[in-house]
Each structure stands twice: as structure tokens, then as C-alpha cells.
Chains A and B, each alone.
Chain A
């Protein structure tokens, strides 16, 4: 069964600090991996997409990494802002176009 596991489930950081979110998956075959940001009560918005051959991709203060050999990805948030408070969801697409969703990591940034 294809699974996507995210850790930690939640975290609290002070404004200006960095944090890293983890995503481990067992989806095979692998097509791509996306990180989404979901503000409370809103729909998810794509931050980055990574394919098999990509190791790192940045979107502003967000940097995603992918190790396709160990089936691990991370999302690093640099110099966090209050607006970064949200749920971050890792989504892996398999070769059959099916999407597998992680349960998400809830990030709370405090002033």
C-alpha cells in the first residue's frame, strides 16, 4: 500500500527561526512529489514540485529536497514569518497518476 508519512505532526517556532519538515514515502513507481501549504479553512496551494532527477528546489524562503533512493523529502522554511503558520502537506504521485497524501505538519509561528 502506498503511504506518505510526515513528521513532526506539529511544531511551534519563534518568528525568524528556521524549521525543517520531513516526508517519507513508499509510493512506487514514483512520478513526482509536491509540497502544499494549507492555511486554516482554505484549500492547499502548491509550493514546490520535484521529479525523480531533482534534489533541491526553492520557492522564496521555502526549500524542498528529495532523496529518491531513500524515498525521503524535506521542506525547509528559512527566517519564518507569522504568515507561515499553516499546515504543510506532502503529496506523492505514483506512476498510475494516483496521489498519496500525507497527514500534514501543522506549523505555528509565534512572535
Chain B
């Protein structure tokens, strides 16, 4: 069974640009979570989607947004990129709310 996949592996952008990150959950999982992990810091919760709806968001500005598609895959968009947005962005999926989250390999975003 395939795990959570994310694309791209690496992404390099400049300040002010927009970044789009993608995530495909494990087959059968309806919940997708997005986390930011800046270098040397712990995981910070960004967004949670379930059944196509945004269920919760962390303490991040509105320029961090996303959506979940009918096939449960998800997209994270970061607008007006800032240098401090450079981080590893992790996606996780679970079978319903509150169950174990399985993480993808992450997308390394570098903002120059």
C-alpha cells in the first residue's frame, strides 16, 4: 500500500512569489493535515481538511491557504512568500478524525 506522497520534493522561490505544494493521502484516508517545520524547530500545525472541508487552522496568516479535492488529495498555497516561510512542509493523512496520522516525506521550500 502506498504511503502519503508529496510533490515537489524541493521548491525554490523568491520573496513575493506564490508556492503550491501537493499531497496525496493514503488510499481510504479522508483527513489531510499540513504542518510547517522550520529548521531546528518543532512541527507547527497549519491546516486540517476532512471530507473536502477545512476543519481547523493553526496560528498562521491568511496567505497560507489550501483545499482538499474530491479524491481527498490536497494542495497548500502560500502567497506573498517571505524568507521565514523557508521550511519543510509535511502532509499527514488519517482515516477519519483523531486517528493515527501518517506523514509524507515533506516538501522542502526555500525562499530566496
Contacts and interface: CB of A to CB of B under 8 A. Distances in A.
Contacts, number: 39
A42 B106 CA distance: 6
Contacts of B12: none
Contacts of B108: 41
A101 B45 CA distance: 9
Nearest to B88: A41
Contact of A46 (B45, B90, B100): B100
Given A93-B98, A97-B97, A97-B98, A45 B42 contact: no
Q: How large is the interface on A (under 10, 10 to 19, 20 to 34, 35 or more residues)?
A: 10 to 19
Interface residues of B, number: 20
A103 B39 CA distance: 11
A80 to B, nearest CB: 22
Where chain B touches its partner, the secondary structure class is: loop
B2 interface: no
Contacts of B45: 99, 101
B100 A49 contact: yes
Interface string A5-45: 00000000000000000000000000100101000011111
Interface of A: 31, 34, 36, 41-46, 49, 89, 93, 97-99, 101-104
A99 B43 CA distance: 10
B42 A43 contact: no
